Amino acid sequence: MPKSLLEVENLRGYRDRDYVQTIEEYFFCVIGPVHPQDRVIAYLKYVPDPAGNWGQKNRRFRRVLRYYTVMDLLETLKFLERHPEYLYDSSVMGIKISAVPKNRVSVHFKPEEKMSRLLKMKKPDILQQKSVDLAKLISDESGVLMEYFGVTGSVLLDIHQVFSDIDLVVYGVENGQIVKEALMRMYEERRSPIHRFDEKKAKEWCMEKAKRYPLTFEDASHIFQRKWGRGLFHGTMFSMHPIKLEEDITEKYGDRVFKPEDMAKIEATVSDVSEADFLPAVYKVEDVKVVYGNRVEDLHEVASYEGLYGGITEEGEKIVAYGKLERVIDKKLGKEHHRILIGSKEAEGRDYIKPTCLS
């Protein structure tokens, strides 16, 4: 890495898939690496509830966000209407979002710090041990040092159950690509304890996506085949997410301003996927044909906050995308262009990205 991990950690801000706990003990999951100066953009996931299914012993929580869709996310905004201090009208993004004021953060949960503690724990439980073992295995296979791995989700918060998934992160753009290649190799090795979903779990995954997204079962099946960051480790489902370090981030909140225009459908050729495995997933596009909507000439990217559509296509591949058309004002470059955004309130869950072989 260009900088030592210690140098990066000294500059550490709020990273994608960190968690914050508020003074009411609400758990929010951080979205992306770019935030206002006094707030953290994050979605509400757990709230205290004595009858909740998540937690340990006397510390119980209820999951507010049931599924990772925009429509479910909008339900969390309705819940937060009783706590309007967590709702934020973003003039930069042109939408109302949930964002935690930094002065209401009581705990900042960092996945790499949790992994470090688990490594030193004398009597971890089964899921904690599996999280460590999986990270060590991937570290050994990839050559990426353990200090760049973290664990997020319920394990990070110590509210996991025996049925919980393992949610790992790896820090750094270069490290993310190396780990991706390592996992792809391991999936193909017969003796590896890491596997893709078996036929039953894959079918369940595809049926669930077809139910919640504007996809057929066949669409979901093709997308599933391209999702490298999900698999099974000794029978437990896991996910792996590359996360940018501070040195990888070139944008500050407000450097680009997004102005909503209308809904649009395009056909295009993907020219760059270097940002496709992060949140938001960004695909640079060329040879754009506007099928529906305002026929702008400067549409250069498709961005998705729906994690399902991250990393599902390659450079040179043709895609069809339907979503919110936005004008992007780049203050740093003094230029403007348009993009299609997937994961907006306006789309009401009807937006998508598909390689044209799926459309």
Same domain, 119 and 86: no
Is residue 336 a contact partner of residue 330, using CB atoms and an 8 Å limit? yes
Q: CA–CA distance from 184 to each of 3, 54, 225, 226 (Å)?
A: 28, 32, 11, 11
Q: Does a structural domain hold residue 83?
A: yes
> Distance (Å, rounded) from C-alpha 213 to C-alpha 71?
10
229-241: pLDDT as tens digits: 999 999 999 999 9
DSSP assignment letter at 166: E
> Distance (Å, rounded) from C-alpha 53 to C-alpha 186?
34
Average of per-residue pLDDT across 162-184: 96
pLDDT at 58: 72
Q: Does a structural domain hold residue 9?
A: no
Pairing state of beta strands 166-171 and 236-243? parallel
pLDDT at 241: 97
pTM over 0.85: yes
The fraction of the chain above a pLDDT of 70, given in percent, is: 96
The last residue of one of the domains, among 218, 246, 274, is 246
Same domain, 138 and 151: yes
Tell me: pLDDT of 359 over 50.
Answer: no
Q: Does a structural domain hold residue 327?
A: yes
Same domain, 94 and 173: no
The last residue of one of the domains, among 189, 212, 246, is 246
Per-residue pLDDT band for 162 (boundaries 50, 70, 90) equals confident
Between 6-15, 260-269, 284-293, the lowest mean confidence (pLDDT) is in 6-15
**What's the token pair of residue 260?**
């909503």
Is residue 157 a contact partner of residue 46, using CB atoms and an 8 Å limit? yes
Per-residue pLDDT band for 51 (boundaries 50, 70, 90) equals confident
- N-terminal to C-terminal alpha carbon distance within the chain: 40
Same domain, 333 and 319: yes
Q: Does a structural domain hold residue 156?
A: yes
Which residues constitute the domain of residue 75? 19-109
Picking from 82, 56, 79, the residue whose alpha carbon sits closest to that of residue 66 is: 79
Same domain, 96 and 198: no
Identify the three-state secondary structure at position 312.
Answer: coil
Same domain, 283 and 209: no
What total number of domains does the chain contain?
3
Same domain, 266 and 226: no
Per-residue pLDDT band for 84 (boundaries 50, 70, 90) equals very high
Per-residue pLDDT band for 133 (boundaries 50, 70, 90) equals very high
Is residue 225 a contact partner of residue 324, using CB atoms and an 8 Å limit? no
The last residue of one of the domains, among 109, 138, 153, is 109
Same domain, 100 and 191: no
**What's the token pair of residue 57?**
């012993």
Same domain, 225 and 159: yes
Same domain, 226 and 132: yes
Kindly provide the residue ranges of all beta strands, DSSP E only, lying in 192-347, ordered along the sequence: 194-195, 230-233, 236-243, 256-275, 281-292, 299-304, 318-330, 335-342
Q: Does a structural domain hold residue 80?
A: yes
Question: What pairs with residue 54 in β-bridges?
Answer: 61
CATH of the domain at 284: 2.40.50.140
> Distance (Å, rounded) from C-alpha 4 to C-alpha 297?
43
Same domain, 286 and 202: no
271-295: pLDDT as tens digits: 999 999 999 999 999 999 999 999 9
Is residue 298 a contact partner of residue 232, using CB atoms and an 8 Å limit? no
Same domain, 147 and 123: yes
